Structure 1
Amino acid sequence: MALSDAEVVRLRERYAAGARQVDLATEFGIAQTAVSAIVTGRTRVAAGGPLAARPDRHAPRPAPASSRKVLSPGQIEQVRRRVAAGEKRTEIAADLGISRYTIDSIISGRRGSGARKPFSGDQIRQIRAAAAAGTSQTQLARDYGTSQQVISQIVRRVTYTDVT
């Protein structure tokens, strides 16, 4: 459904007054992405009405140091155990008041102990054998408390190249 210029102006005014894009999309019978394009002026500029400021996607937005939650070693180990047990990362994150991406960083070794948890030669051989037998990399990641990407690197012999 194409909006008239008057409807575009009314939509922009309602957004400027605080209406949510998703609510405006429902009200006007268009997609939320279309509302976003209209209120920021990516489309229908000539229709008039107030335009919302477009965020600069490339501007750096570092989080203040005080906003980063510091997890104790016990909490980090709890995250690893819960992920290994198959619990959903979003649920773990909600329980601990952190983002799902922080969970991913802990599991991959980018955050937590400062160093990746090394695997023994026996574990590497077990991982490769299980993958060759058809166990999914995702399942292996859960079993070993790491990420699928780490398992992939092990299986493809990108890492632990010395283990035969």
Structure 2
Amino acid sequence: MHARLEQALENQGKAEEEMERLRAKVKESVAEHTRISRIMGNLSKRNDDLKTQADRLYAQVDNSRHRLLALGGILDKAGECDICFENIDGDIRTAVQVIASCGHSVCHFCAAKLIEADPKCPVCTQLTWLSKDSIVGNYTANEAYKALGEARVVIKSVTSAL
């Protein structure tokens, strides 16, 4: 009977050692779980912050796209001949001409037709007594319209990329 008691005590000792080992593992697991939970919380907060920043950036991009589209519309209007509404792009064939007496800008083709047609500006109907001498080239405007044409291309490529 004594051998059985010793065996039972030995088994109890082994069971207690196993229990301690398991408690240590549970304690490690709880600590690991706590650490992982903290990391997950930090990652979740960081993710929320990044989403907020992304939403802000998307709003800024959308706002910029709308502003660029509006600017493109303004540039299109600014670079038009007052008569035919074609874009004046600084090319010599469409070079801007100014009706000297009233200051309206027209393309080269419309200027040539005006000299032959009517002595009045078709935009404001002011008598201009158009002649080759009264319609002069505006080289500064030609350069500006050339730059506007390039800006239009950039705006279209940027807005299509957005």
Bin for the TM-score computed over the shorter chain: under 0.3
Larger Rg computed on CA atoms? 2
Pick the structure with more helix per residue.
2
